[in-house]
Amino acid sequence: MNYELLQIVALLTVIAFGGALRKATGACGSDDLEGLMGFKNGIQMDTSGRLAKWVGRSCCEWEGVVCDNATTRVTQINLPGLIEKDLFQTQMVGQLSPSITLLTSLEILDLGGLVGLTGTIPQTIGLQMPNLQKLYLYGNNLTGPVPESIGDLPRLQELALHENKISGSIPSTIGSLKKLKSLLLYSNQISGTIPFSLGNLTNLVELDVHDNAIMGQVPNSIGQMQALEKLDLSSNMLSGSIPSSLTNLTAISVLYMDTNYLEGTIPFPSRSGEMPSLGFLRLHNNHLSGNIPPSFGYLVSLKRVSLSNNKIEGALPSSLGNLHSLTELYLSDNSFSGQIPKSIGQLSQLIMLNISSNLIEWPLPQEISSLQNLQTLDLSFNPLNLSSIPPWLTSISSLSRISLAGCGIKGQIPDSLQTTQSPIQELDLSGNLLSGSIPSWIGSLSQLYLLNLSSNSLDSHIPESLTNLPDLGVLDLHSNKLTGSIAGVFDTEQGTLTYIDLSDNNFSSGVEAIGVGEQLNIQYLNLSHNLLKGTLPSSLGKLNSIHSLDLSFNELASNLPEMLAKLTLLERLKLQGNHFSGKIPSGFLKLKKLKELDLSDNVLEGEIPEGKPLTDFPGSTYSGNKGLCGKPLNPCKE
Ligand SMILES: *[C@@H]1O[C@H](CO)[C@@H](O)[C@H](O)[C@H]1NC(C)=O
Ligand SMILES: *[C@@H]1O[C@H](CO)[C@@H](O)[C@H](O)[C@H]1NC(C)=O
Ligand SMILES: *[C@@H]1O[C@H](CO)[C@@H](O)[C@H](O)[C@H]1NC(C)=O
Ligand SMILES: *[C@@H]1O[C@H](CO)[C@@H](O)[C@H](O)[C@H]1NC(C)=O
Ligand SMILES: *[C@@H]1O[C@H](CO)[C@@H](O)[C@H](O)[C@H]1NC(C)=O
Ligand SMILES: *[C@@H]1O[C@H](CO)[C@@H](O)[C@H](O)[C@H]1NC(C)=O
Ligand SMILES: *[C@@H]1O[C@H](CO)[C@@H](O)[C@H](O)[C@H]1NC(C)=O
Ligand SMILES: *[C@@H]1O[C@H](CO)[C@@H](O)[C@H](O)[C@H]1NC(C)=O
Ligand SMILES: *[C@@H]1O[C@H](CO)[C@@H](O)[C@H](O)[C@H]1NC(C)=O
């Protein structure tokens, strides 16, 4: 053996033995060790106790660290906040150390959901960590920008930076991440425009099968292999228009850009066959304008679409009828005009249709009645001039939520509802021109949870059948001309109501029943602007879930009951414009959550009990009484 060969053998032995030694001891390379220790030193507190056990050199055996067995290099750091195996949420408080970039073989970095982790994404991440495939830094407390160098991570497949305080704009270099499948940047403070280069994240891998000898089919998976499937930029501060290049995202399935400041028109698709897998599209809460392009009907995989709260106008294209997979369509709060196209009847999978607050006109196409899976229909606040509820509507056997507020419905509450087979849970006919009585058959809608008949001209009593409905939770009858007693609402065996608004009617009696029955889960009670007389019963003190109580502008006369002090969840208490007399009970000082109080225009007297929250309210809270004094009014005379 000659000398040189000996040297080589020796060298190989050292390499092999070094690797074997590190394998045996679980040690990792020294750069990796330094990177891990740097990361650990940035963390002041770790409730999981995982980092406390990171001692010595055997880093390949540390919890949350994975090494490659052959090279002993660290390839994964898995320290998510939620420990899956026992669903345990942990905390790490500290700074994300830039020394993490010393781990140059890292493929997966998962620090998701550690809400106490601050700092920035290391600027040089793209230059130093070329093997990264998955970067999960979501749900932290990171600030600063997405580094430009992120575009230099050729193997990156998943980038999840959502739910941080990341600012700056999206670097256009992101368009070079040829393997990116999922880009989640939602719920940050990212501004600027959406880079045109995002349209490069496609599977247009120059796939030329022409003049080749490939036998059989090109595997389908090739098309899916290297292309963006999920893009979520929602809840940021992005402006400008949606880049037309997105139309090239051949594999996109989830596209969320809602709740930003985007403007301009919806640019896709430009022709049939584009975005063939797009299933979930959210563009709501932006400033988008223009029409829904007729080509929209080419997006045949769409399941859920939300365009609400934009400035989109024009007629709904009849091509919408081609979206056979559509289950949910949200179009509310735009300026859509004209009629609903008849083709809507082809959307046989549709469960939810919300077109409220637009400029849609009469007539409604009867084809809607073929939507036999429809559960929610909201056509409220359109100039529909419906006059009556179309009888075919109640033949939709799955319909459980009907909102036809502000649709110009006239006359009596239509009888067609009486015989419906639909399992109606929510019925909103508010803001119409309904007159006459609340029919007692309403009590046969046995699944009713919400009834909103507010702002009509109904002038009957409240039928007893209504207040005995087993699931009734929300009852809004405000601003009608209803008369008689409110006692039936309270004096029942049911305990389901949480929201009761009977304000602005002509009710004259029944306050003595409040708290007498089982109706004790009430959180909101508004009886203001009626003709209610009498004294408040002490059973009122049993409504211990109540947040908001408004009895203002009635003819109630009594002392302010001491037991009101038991309603410690109260945030709003309005008793103004009655004939309450006597002193303000000192127990009111226990109402620590009170944010709004109005006792004005009664006949109260004596000293305002001193202390929070009572003395923090303005003078107007107490004005117009017989003789109240003390802070915030003038001092009492001795
Ligand atoms: C590496 O070693 C660990 C533990 O010895 C073993 O569980 C794992 O399967 C190995 N991985 C590979 C890729 O060989
Ligand atoms: C996030 O960081 C800010 C300071 O940058 C700090 O005030 C805040 O409490 C942190 N939030 C959490 C949840 O740790
Ligand atoms: C990426 O997109 C930009 C802007 O659309 C374009 O100029 C560039 O040529 C694209 N790069 C590649 C590699 O396709
Ligand atoms: C889509 O990709 C093709 C091929 O790369 C390109 O020619 C076209 O300009 C792209 N379209 C848009 C709107 O970016
Ligand atoms: C329809 O959308 C509007 C606005 O987004 C919303 O307020 C309303 O609750 C929705 N209707 C139903 C029945 O969910
Ligand atoms: C619908 O009703 C409104 C107000 O009631 C009225 O101004 C409008 O002319 C009516 N439109 C039609 C088409 O009848
Ligand atoms: C009833 O409908 C009106 C609008 O017509 C709305 O302002 C009110 O909040 C609704 N009530 C409930 C309890 O949802
Ligand atoms: C109670 O109803 C009246 C009249 O409808 C309204 O002005 C008032 O704001 C309501 N009070 C509360 C606390 O919501
Ligand atoms: C409701 O009360 C007002 C004021 O007392 C009265 O003018 C009106 O006629 C009453 N309306 C009905 C329908 O009883």
**How confident is the model over 100-149, as pLDDT tens digits?**
999 999 999 999 999 999 999 999 999 999 999 999 999 999 999 999 99
Question: Are 602 and 578 contacting, i.e. CB atoms less than 8 angstroms apart?
Answer: yes
Beta bridge mates, 69: none
**Res 10 pLDDT > 90:** no
pLDDT (0 to 100) of residue 364: 94
The reply to whether omega before 363 is within 30° of 0 (cis) is yes
Q: Cα(248) to centroid of ligand 4, in Å?
A: 6
pLDDT (0 to 100) of residue 419: 84
**Res 416 pLDDT > 90:** no
Share of the chain above pLDDT 70, in %: 92
Q: Cα(481) to centroid of ligand 9, in Å?
A: 7
User: Which residue, by CA, sits nearest to atom 1 of ligand 5?
Assistant: 354
pLDDT (0 to 100) of residue 214: 38
User: Which residue, by CA, sits nearest to atom 11 of ligand 6?
Assistant: 385
Averaged confidence pLDDT in the chain: 91
Beta bridge mates, 378: 354, 403
How confident is the model over 234-259, as a mean pLDDT?
A: 96
Pocket flag, ligand 3, residue 245 (CB < 6 Å): yes
Give dist(CA 377, CA 405) in Å, integer.
Answer: 11
Among the atoms of ligand 4, which is closest to the Cα of residue 196? 14
Least confident of 226-230, 512-516, 596-600: 226-230
pLDDT (0 to 100) of residue 415: 83
pLDDT band of 391, cuts 50, 70, 90: confident
What are the phi and psi torsion angles at 565 (to 5°)? Answer: -65, -15
Pocket flag, ligand 4, residue 199 (CB < 6 Å): yes
Pocket flag, ligand 4, residue 375 (CB < 6 Å): no
Q: pLDDT tens for residues 347-373?
A: 999 999 999 999 999 999 999 999 999
Distances (CA, A) of 221 to 175, 255, 309, 363: 22, 21, 37, 47
**Virtual torsion, Cα 472, 378, 460, 535, nearest 10 deg:** 50
pLDDT (0 to 100) of residue 221: 43
As given in the structure block, the two tokens for residue 624 are 């117009």
- Which one of 152, 170, 174, 200 would you pick to mutate in the ligand 3 pocket, going by the greatest count of ligand atoms within 8 A of its CB? 200
Q: pLDDT tens for residues 563-606?
A: 999 999 999 999 999 999 999 999 999 999 999 999 999 999 99
User: Which residue, among 306, 204, 320, has the nearest Cα to 259 in the 3D structure?
Assistant: 306
How confident is the model over 376-381, as a mean pLDDT?
A: 98
User: Which residue, among 512, 501, 503, has the nearest Cα to 539 in the 3D structure?
Assistant: 512
Q: pLDDT tens for residues 595-638?
A: 999 999 999 999 999 999 999 999 999 999 999 999 999 999 87
Q: How far apart are the first and last CA of the chain?
A: 116
Share of the chain above pLDDT 90, in %: 82
Pocket flag, ligand 7, residue 503 (CB < 6 Å): no
**Res 25 pLDDT > 80:** no
Domain residue limits, the chain: 1-63+74-114+122-135+152-158
Query: What's the predicted TM-score (pTM) here?
Result: 0.89
pLDDT band of 286, cuts 50, 70, 90: very high
Least confident of 22-36, 270-284, 287-301, 330-344: 22-36
pLDDT (0 to 100) of residue 69: 87
pLDDT (0 to 100) of residue 420: 86
pLDDT (0 to 100) of residue 414: 86
Concatenate the DSSP letters of all residues of 322-387 into one string.
Answer: G-TT--EEE--SSEEEEPPPGGGGG-TT--EEE--SSEE-SPPPGGGGG-TT--EEE--SSS---B
pLDDT (0 to 100) of residue 360: 97
Pocket flag, ligand 4, residue 247 (CB < 6 Å): yes
Q: pLDDT tens for residues 139-198?
A: 999 999 999 999 999 999 999 999 999 999 999 999 999 899 999 999 999 999 999 999
What are the phi and psi torsion angles at 86 (to 5°)? Answer: -125, 25
Q: pLDDT tens for residues 429-479?
A: 999 999 999 999 999 999 999 999 999 999 999 999 998 899 999 999 999
Pocket flag, ligand 8, residue 164 (CB < 6 Å): no
What region, left, alpha or beta, does residue 436 occupy, with left being phi > 0 and alpha being psi -120 to 50 degrees? left
Pocket flag, ligand 4, residue 245 (CB < 6 Å): yes
**Res 301 pLDDT > 70:** yes
Q: pLDDT tens for residues 28-78?
A: 888 999 999 999 999 999 998 999 999 988 999 999 999 998 899 999 999
Pocket flag, ligand 4, residue 204 (CB < 6 Å): yes
Pocket flag, ligand 9, residue 143 (CB < 6 Å): no
Least confident of 9-13, 214-218, 228-232, 314-318: 214-218
pLDDT band of 89, cuts 50, 70, 90: confident
Beta bridge mates, 260: none
User: Which residue, among 497, 471, 472, 500, has the nearest Cα to 486 in the 3D structure?
Assistant: 500
